[in-house]
Structures are given as structure tokens and as C-alpha cells.
Amino acid sequence: MVDLDRTMASPSDPDLLNPAYDSGDKLHPNDAGYRAMAQAVAAVLRPSKDADDQG
């Protein structure tokens, strides 16, 4: 599971979109926001080195 709400949250107020990821309407992400979401999803889908060592 990926908590995109946490990924996109403002550091000063977790109920708001991080200004660094805001397209300007305080609702939709900009390119950096989409990149942050993609990286968060990729981190969950990418197997960790620890998991490889356990198999």
C-alpha cells in the first residue's frame, strides 16, 4: 500500500497539499507532485535487497 496523502502533504500542515507539488489550485499536483507519487509507488513495487536475501 502507498500512502500518497502522506507523500503529497505539506510539511507544515498534513491536511494541505505541499506547495512544492501544487499546480496552483491547491488541489491538483504539478509535474514534481506526479514525480513524487510515481517514486512512492515505485519504492513499494521495487523489491528490497533484504527481501532478495531472505529468499
pLDDT tens digits for 6-36?
999 999 999 999 999 999 999 999 999 999 9
pLDDT at 51 > cutoff 60: no
In-domain check, residue 39: yes
Q: How far apart are CA 18 and CA 14, in angstroms?
A: 8
In-domain check, residue 53: no
In-domain check, residue 18: yes
Non-local (6+) Cβ contacts of 36 within 8 A are 7, 8, 21, 29
Considering its fold, how many domains does the chain have in total?
1
In-domain check, residue 27: yes
In-domain check, residue 41: yes
Q: Which domain holds residue 12?
A: 4-47
Return the residue matching grid coordinates 510515481. Answer: 38
Q: How far apart are CA 24 and CA 34, in angstroms?
A: 14
